[in-house]
Amino acid sequence: MTTPTVVHKSDDLLLATWSRVFINRWRTAATSELLSVVMREQLTFIDSFDDRKIAVLTTLEDSSGVMPNSASRKKAEEVAKATRESLILQAHVVQGEGFVAAAFRALLSGITLAIRAPYPTKVFKSEEEAMPWVAEQLKRAGHGDDAAGVAAAVESLTW
């Protein structure tokens, strides 16, 4: 197993790549500035593959707090539109216990259903819970080698 390559690291956001998987971990609500970094790095990663196909794992840590503001939500929509045709899958992890985390997971699940993405997308409570689904989706997309090591790669990534 190769270790993930960190492509951006700040107090609020960690971006890494491993095989065909783009990993982004948030410690704060998304901002337009940080979403611009995500879009730049994600598009660069997409361009590194002949078929332009990647998987995305987004984790919102328990401390990430509140919903993004209006400008940040618009930037997030821009990122989604720019990458829509290149995604194999999108796994969202919203960490945390209690009402706020559960409500945010439910809201995100509803949004993912409403946008009718052309790729599988699902919301999870933890990265550990997400990994079997991510691996299965990678296998279904013909990327079995990636599926075999994705859990260990994500687990090895530290802030």
CATH number, domain containing residue 27: 3.30.750.24
Residue pLDDT, tens place only, 120-141: 999 899 999 999 999 999 999 9
Calpha distance 56→87 (Å, rounded): 7
Q: What is the pLDDT of residue 59?
A: 92
User: Which of 49, 51, 18, 139 is CA-nearest to residue 89?
Assistant: 139
3-state SS class at 124: strand
- The count of structural domains within the chain is 1
User: Which of 91, 89, 74 is CA-nearest to residue 128?
Assistant: 91
Residue pLDDT, tens place only, 48-69: 999 999 999 999 887 666 677 8
Q: What is the pLDDT of residue 148?
A: 86
Range of 17's domain? 5-156
Model pTM greater than 0.85?
yes
Does the pLDDT of residue 2 top 80, yes or no? no
